[in-house]
């Protein structure tokens, strides 16, 4: 690790913290992604009509999953240093992809959190597209 006394990154305690935090974020993201796929599969099998609150929750779930995935990638990026941004390193490409996805208007966490909060508070969604 450059500018440290560690010969290997695997010897640095911060590495273990970074890996654990990234893994926990990815586990939580998977929970939300699985909840969405369960809802979609359930509706496909039953043909039930989607309630607005469930559709909004699915939007919040996917936005939260994307946010957590981006945060996990950023932890790995910080642990990797500038080497992660080399053109030959796949991590740089992954980071660009997740950053792009996370700011898409339909996947933006802040927008979907507001929408979900409105529904949880008993208000109308107040958006034209759910």
8 Å CB contact between 72 and 29: yes
Q: Is the pTM of this model over 0.85?
A: yes
At 61 the pLDDT is 97
At 107 the pLDDT is 92
Tell me, letter by letter, the H, E, C secondary structure of 44-99. Answer: HHHCCCCCHHHHHHHHHHHHHHHHHHHHHHHHHHHHHHHHHHCCCCHHHHHHHHHH
At 2 the pLDDT is 74
Residues of the chain with pLDDT under 50: none
At 24 the pLDDT is 98
């Amino acid at each position: 690790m450059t500018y440290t006394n560690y010969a290997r990154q695997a010897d640095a305690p911060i590495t273990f913290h970074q890996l654990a935090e990234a893994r926990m974020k990815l586990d939580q993201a998977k929970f939300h992604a699985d909840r969405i796929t369960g809802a979609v599969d359930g509706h496909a099998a039953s043909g039930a009509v989607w309630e607005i609150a469930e559709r909004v929750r699915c939007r919040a779930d996917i936005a939260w999953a994307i946010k957590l995935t981006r945060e996990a990638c950023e932890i790995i990026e910080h642990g990797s240093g500038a080497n992660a941004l080399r053109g030959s390193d796949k991590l740089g490409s992954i980071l660009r992809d997740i950053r792009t996805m996370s700011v898409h208007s339909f996947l933006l966490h802040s927008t979907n959190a507001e929408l979900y909060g409105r529904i949880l508070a008993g208000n109308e969604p107040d958006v034209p597209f759910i």
